[in-house]
Amino acid sequence: MIFQDEKPHEECGVFGIYALDADVIPAYACYNALLALQHRGQESCGIAVNNDGVLSYSKDMGLVKEAFSDEILSRLQGQMAVGHVRYSTAGASVRENAQPLVMRYIKGSLAIAHNGNLTNALEIRRELECAGSIFQTTIDSEVIAYLIARERVGAPSIEEALRRTMRKIHGSYSLLVMSPQKLIAARDPHGFRPLCIGKIGDSAYVFASETCALDACGAEFVRDVEPGEIVIADKNGLRSIPAEKQERRALCIFEYIYFARTDSVIDGISVYQARKEAGRILARQSPVKADIVIGVPESGIDAAIGYSEESGIPYQKGIVKNGYIGRTFIKPTQTERERSVRLKLNAIASEVAGKRVVMLDDSIVRGTTCGRIVSMLKEAGAKEVHLRISSPPFLWPCYYGTDIPSRDQLIACKHSIEEIGRMNYADSIDFLKLENLPHMLHKETDEGYCDACFSGHYPAEIPDEEFARKMNRYCMPIKRY
């Protein structure tokens, strides 16, 4: 049996570079950036390069450091490159679904790297299949590739073909498209997924899911790609096609809570500061008498620091993480599954023994892991363990690229907060209140981000078939868009 980490996972991370300076080697810059984005996807990875109009690529299952060697990278010569790390929320975890997708069509070649999830992908795919298209993968990205190729036949440029395609696709996408002459970045009109622009010297432009990837390849942050915007890098520099219409901005709030790396800045907001602020809010919202505050590595640590600073309770490292354990691991028996948490996390007994502990974690999804950590702390001698969760309870599935499951698998859909606390052996428990979520980003309202997985308020239309797929008897009336 495969035991999976219960944390939600984001679909992937993308990176692209257009370089005219011979001192910048795109394939190696891409490799370094993908290492920095590895937390966004650990199932497969790939790099495609453009060498004077000839596209070549290498992609494989597994981690970046395992898939690429110096020998492979040295063969990937070219002035442009796009890279991708993937975690599958749509489409099976097989090599055929690894990205970037490279395709050849009547107008030449394209390489595409996509982060997100189209809500109307099934509908478009059926239309294309009825028209004779043959799909090689089961991912949304191939749907986008087919649409771009079809539009390009009648469009004067690849960016115009992409603009026409964006009128037809719905949902979330931060997208990189590499043609023989251009590297193009696009972000969906709601801005569900992050995408930023960087620059290396005076002649290399980069696009990345997070700013931490810019740091890894030596690029300077320029700005974020705006929702609905198309940005083109070519021999003439950088230019932009603004969004055709303004939609409600809806960056996934879970980027700040869990997905993004701590040192990234997304849409002008520091991930680290947002997580610390969530901890501060929890300290005011749910105070408790305790001796130490600890965090569950990694994203729970930042919230724990904020909780400590606000409450005055000392922060202490109480849990150590084994960084060499992957996202999934085999557990053949129930006993082994119960012990599985110790493969990734272990208590520091000398710091928790005899103490009242406040433990910060970022979320509880199915409720399969948190109780094991609390039990582990109590076995290590903790007198009390008070759970504080730096997000509201998950009540709704996600249709925009996060693998939050159907409602029957969400523990908060079937149990009250008090029941969740008892099930997880906690002496007390509280979640960040939904109304306090904007304050984590120093906002007064929920304007600018998507919190549908907590509130059920979906900012973009979801087709009936797709909507019904993740709903069940725990459903109640909600605002869909």
Query: What pLDDT, on a 0 to 100 scale, did the predictor assign at position 458?
Result: 93
Residue 4: pLDDT above 50?
Answer: no
Query: What pLDDT, on a 0 to 100 scale, did the predictor assign at position 282?
Result: 98
Average pLDDT over residues 234-244: 95
Residue 131: band (very low, low, confident or very high) from pLDDT cuts 50, 70, 90:
confident
User: What 3-state class would DSSP assign to 369?
Assistant: coil
Q: What is the mean pLDDT of the chain?
A: 89
Query: What pLDDT, on a 0 to 100 scale, did the predictor assign at position 476?
Result: 43
Which CATH number describes the domain made up of 265-469?
Answer: 3.40.50.2020
Residue 169: band (very low, low, confident or very high) from pLDDT cuts 50, 70, 90:
very high
Q: Are 107 and 149 in contact (CB under 8 A)?
A: yes
**Strand ranges in 302-363 using DSSP code E only, listed in sequence order:** 319-321, 328-330, 345-347, 356-361
Q: Fill in the amino acid letter for 366.
A: R
Residue 203: band (very low, low, confident or very high) from pLDDT cuts 50, 70, 90:
confident
Average pLDDT over residues 322-343: 58
Average pLDDT over residues 210-234: 97
**How are strands ordered across the β-sheet holding 196-200?**
54-61, 44-51, 80-86, 12-19, 204-208, 196-200, 220-224
Cα separation values, 464 from 21, 467, 469, Å? 50, 5, 9
Domain boundaries defined on the chain: 2-247, 265-469
Residue 92: pLDDT above 80?
Answer: no
Query: What pLDDT, on a 0 to 100 scale, did the predictor assign at position 406?
Result: 77
Residue 13: pLDDT above 60?
Answer: yes
Q: How far apart are CA 379 and CA 25, in angstroms?
A: 52
Looking at the annotation, which residues are catalytic? Answer: 12
Residue 405: pLDDT above 80?
Answer: no
- What fold, for 2-247? Glutamine Phosphoribosylpyrophosphate, subunit 1, domain 1 (3.60.20)
Residue 478: band (very low, low, confident or very high) from pLDDT cuts 50, 70, 90:
very low
Residue 327: pLDDT above 60?
Answer: no
Query: What pLDDT, on a 0 to 100 scale, did the predictor assign at position 479?
Result: 44
Query: What pLDDT, on a 0 to 100 scale, did the predictor assign at position 480?
Result: 40
Query: What pLDDT, on a 0 to 100 scale, did the predictor assign at position 325?
Result: 66
User: What is the tens place of the pLDDT at every residue in 259-269?
Assistant: 999 999 999 99
The mean-pLDDT minimum among 3-12, 23-32, 446-455 falls in 3-12
Query: What pLDDT, on a 0 to 100 scale, did the predictor assign at position 473?
Result: 40
Residue 109: pLDDT above 80?
Answer: yes
Cα separation values, 271 from 210, 216, 349, 478, Å? 10, 17, 30, 29
Average pLDDT over residues 231-252: 94
Q: How far apart are CA 147 and CA 144, in angstroms?
A: 5
Residue 461: pLDDT above 90?
Answer: no
Q: Are 6 and 424 in contact (CB under 8 A)?
A: no
pTM of the predicted model, to two decimals?
0.90
Average pLDDT over residues 131-141: 83
The mean-pLDDT minimum among 241-245, 408-412, 443-447, 465-469 falls in 465-469
Nearest to 344 by CA among 365, 366, 363, 372: 372
Cα separation values, 127 from 27, 91, 462, Å? 36, 18, 18
Residue 77: pLDDT above 70?
Answer: yes
Query: What pLDDT, on a 0 to 100 scale, did the predictor assign at position 468?
Result: 65
User: What is the tens place of the pLDDT at every residue in 284-318?
Assistant: 999 999 999 999 998 899 999 999 999 999 999 99
Query: What pLDDT, on a 0 to 100 scale, did the predictor assign at position 132?
Result: 80
Residue 474: band (very low, low, confident or very high) from pLDDT cuts 50, 70, 90:
very low
Average pLDDT over residues 462-479: 58
Residue 401: pLDDT above 50?
Answer: yes
Average pLDDT over residues 9-27: 86
Query: What pLDDT, on a 0 to 100 scale, did the predictor assign at position 287?
Result: 97
Query: What pLDDT, on a 0 to 100 scale, did the predictor assign at position 329?
Result: 42
